[in-house]
Amino acid sequence: MTVAETFRHLHHFVPATDPSRPPLLLLHGTGGDENDLLPLGRALAPGSALLAPRGNVLEGGAPRFFRRLREGVFDEDDVRRRAHDLADFVAEARDAYGLQKPVALGFSNGANIAAAVLLLRPEALAGAALLRPMSPLAAAPAADLSGTPVLMLSGAFDPIVPGDDVGRLAGTLRAAGAEVDHRTLPAGHGLSQADIAATTEWLARF
């Protein structure tokens, strides 16, 4: 495993043991770091290369991928800037490590930045599994996501993510041409065994 500090994001890189599997871009939630989703990535996609960056924004000492003004209200100028920065990091890492286009696996804040990258830099990702996402942008830009697979997993009892918000995100991605599989699971904001089973099954299609 490589720990890299000379890129746009401090990150861990775990080389593939099965080069036929697409790499995963692991994007943590608020307060996480580059270590958080490595065990999940190994469990969900055995053999895949894992690229796990740390968010460059701090909120009370907790790493995030973009600023928010308060709970559920995002600094959209910062969302845009950080999404472009993350897409540039992906290009940088692909060149350095010889990777094919990755599939993003993001939880909460990580899912939101992945959704922003899909909408702002659709060429950066081969697809995305968005676990407990929210709409990152009030007015989504025109994007061509034709044929891009996207899994969205919401929690029926999630106190953080409004149902109408995540429904709007699913509609935005579908309107851009993405192949969206949106499921609402009997869970809260935290991940459950149902999330793991659904994501494993979805990733196996690649």
Query: What CATH code is carried by the domain that includes residue 13?
Result: 3.40.50.1820
pLDDT band at 148 (very low <50, low <70, confident <90, very high): very high
pLDDT attached to residue 70:
83
Kindly give the pairing relationship between strand 57-59 and strand 62-64: antiparallel
Give the active site residue among 28, 158, 182, 195: 158
Quote the distance between the C-alpha of residue 134 and its chain's center.
11
- Please report the pLDDT score of residue 6 as a whole number: 63
Is 144 a known active-site residue?
A: no
Told to judge if 28 belongs to the known catalytic residues of this protein, a careful annotator would answer no
Write out pLDDT tens, residues 50-69.
999 999 999 999 999 999 98
The amino acid sitting at 167 is G
3-state secondary structure 18-83: CCCCCCEEEECCCCCCCCCCHHHHHHHCCCCCEEEECCCEEECCEEECCCEEECCEECHHHHHHHH
Instruction: Enter the DSSP assignment of 156.
Output: T
What is the model's pLDDT at position 171? 95
**Number of domains observed in the structure of the chain:** 1
Assess whether 20 carries a catalytic annotation. no
For 39, 44, 117, 138, 151, the CA distances from 202, given in Å and listed in that order, are 18, 10, 20, 28, 7
pLDDT in tens, 178-196: 999 999 999 999 999 999 9
Least confident of 128-132, 140-144, 167-171: 140-144
Summarised one tens digit per residue, pLDDT across range 71-129 is: 778 999 999 999 999 999 999 999 999 999 999 999 999 999 999 999 999 999 999 99
Segments forming the whole domain that contains residue 156: 2-203
Strand, helix or coil at 11?
A: strand
Amino acid present at 22: P
Best CA proximity match to 110, nearest among 142, 71, 63: 63
Name the nearest CA neighbour of 159 among 71, 63, 74: 71
Residues with Cβ within 8 Å of residue 112, at least 6 apart in sequence: 65, 66, 74, 79, 106, 133, 134, 136
Q: Which of 11, 28, 108, 182 is catalytic?
A: 108
From the candidates 33, 84, 189, 192, give the one annotated as an active-site residue: 189
pTM score of the predicted model: 0.95
* Residues 152, 64: Cα–Cα separation, whole Å: 20
